[in-house]
Amino acid sequence: MALAGWPAAPVRPVLLAHVHDPATTPLFPGDPPFTMTTAASIDVDGYYLRRVCSGEHTGTHWGAPAHFEAGGAAADELTADDLFLPAVRLDVRAAAARDPDYQVTVADLAAFEDAHGPIPPGAAVLAWTGWSDRWGTPAYANLDSAGRIHQPGFALAAVEWLLETGRLGRRGALGTDTFGPDPGLDTSYAVSRALYGQRRISLENLTNLGALPAVGAWVLVGGTRNRAGSGSPATVYGLLPAVRATGAGPGPAKAAASSGPSAASGAGRANR
């Protein structure tokens, strides 16, 4: 929206966060309960206020290195640059639909670069699995009879490749529309440990990733900066390039034309 005397906004924001609601927010097994209670009402107190109780990793949230790394950077030790990152979005919905335990591979990342160009250093690498469509239902956690989570995530080799090649440079993030970047069956959280060990962050329980183009957007991460915090529930924004008045130049229309890696693309690269 243009305002008199102000230049047009250079970006268009989209929301990548679920609504924070105890009635619909799936909890990771073992996480603290999530409750909202009325602390003051307009009828009685003249204003409305609620008490919100949850863990630091409830709903859409980000994780700080301190979450798994002893001595790692806590929420209050991260800078604004750690929370404002160029974003690339990998569409792995088809693979995740075929296999709920699917892991994003080095070959997937290489095929993405073949199609869209290099992943920029210090990027937020976002896996669009389609899992957010299951939000608010038991199918989101997708527990089996033994209580094990079946959700897609990143293969450890793929994350090591991103770190070792500098694509997750001095800063960066892994993001997913699932509980987190680790495949659900991996209770060692090897991906998270590798990520946090290099002072990177995670973006978890995202939604609306289809609103992002494969390349060209940025993510801006909100949330509270708790002292010594392991992370925070957050409103995460995608910032899309604004369409110029002439309709020329980059813009969100590219999102519709962008597609993720296919099993056939990048066949010449090693699938780890």
Q: Is there a contact between 197 and 67 (Cβ–Cβ < 8 Å)?
A: no
Q: Is residue 42 part of a domain?
A: no
Closest CA to 258 of 218, 212, 217, 191: 212
**Which of the four pLDDT bands, split at 50, 70 and 90, describes residue 272?**
very low
Q: Is residue 193 part of a domain?
A: yes
**Which of the four pLDDT bands, split at 50, 70 and 90, describes residue 217?**
very high
Q: Would you put residue 58 in left (φ > 0), alpha (ψ -120 to 50) or beta?
A: beta
Q: Is residue 27 part of a domain?
A: no
Question: For the domain that residue 188 is a member of, what is the CATH number?
Answer: 3.50.30.50
Contacts of 84 (CB under 8 A, 6+ apart): 218, 219, 220, 221
Arithmetic mean of pLDDT, 253-270: 40
Q: Is residue 269 part of a domain?
A: no
Arithmetic mean of pLDDT, 235-259: 62
pTM of the full structure: 0.88
Q: Is residue 122 part of a domain?
A: yes
Q: Is residue 40 part of a domain?
A: no
Give the total residue count for the chain. 272
Residue 263 pLDDT greater than 50, yes or no: no
CA separation for the pair 165, 163 (Å, rounded): 6
At residue 242, the pLDDT reads 84
At residue 1, the pLDDT reads 58
Residue 258 pLDDT greater than 80, yes or no: no
Query: In the numeric block, which tokens belong to residue 230?
Result: 């392991």
Q: Is residue 1 part of a domain?
A: no
CA separation for the pair 164, 272 (Å, rounded): 15
89-109 pLDDT per residue, tens: 999 999 999 999 999 999 999
Q: Which residue segment(s) compose the domain that 86 sits in?
A: 11-19+56-257
At residue 147, the pLDDT reads 97
At residue 3, the pLDDT reads 72
Residue 35: C-alpha distances to residues 23, 95, 205, 265, 268 (Å): 9, 35, 18, 46, 51
Q: What total number of domains does the chain contain?
A: 1
Lowest mean pLDDT among 11-25, 155-169, 199-213, 236-250: 236-250
Q: Is residue 265 part of a domain?
A: no
Arithmetic mean of pLDDT, 188-215: 98
At residue 244, the pLDDT reads 59
